[in-house]
Amino acid sequence: MGLDRVPEVRTLREKVQRLVGKGDAPGWSQHLSRHWMQEDPERAGTLYVDGMCGVYYGKKTKLPKRYVAREKLCLRGVTDYWINDALGQPFFVISKTVTAGLLQELRQEIVPR
């Protein structure tokens, strides 16, 4: 980001806002992912998909319950599917409140994208 030390949060937000432009974070992320994939097509040929369950502890919305292995309980939350290259560089993330499972998401969301 062109900074030699850790910036204040306000400064960091301003810098990120300038990088993103007019609030089009998904578009910026997509552009960055395409750049990474074109930079090294061989590395982008094999992608790693990791599904992670994020537990929601709030009370403002009623999300569906799902099994969370680290808690050994069924808790409310969302599932994030992170798509990374071989070095762990993230290409994109898909967040879902209700999922039919990883294979279904691969077919419907991840491969077309």
The pLDDT value given to residue 95? 82
Kindly give the residue spans of alpha helices, DSSP state H, lying in the chain: 9-20, 25-39, 41-44, 102-105
The pLDDT value given to residue 6? 67
- pTM exceeding 0.85: no
Could you report the average pLDDT of every consecutive run of 10 residues in the chain (113 residues)?
Answer: 66 78 74 84 82 85 83 87 84 79 80 77
The pLDDT value given to residue 3? 54
The pLDDT value given to residue 47? 85
For 105, the 3-state DSSP assignment is helix
Whether the Cβ atoms of residue 66 and residue 56 lie closer than 8 Å to each other: no
The pLDDT value given to residue 100? 72
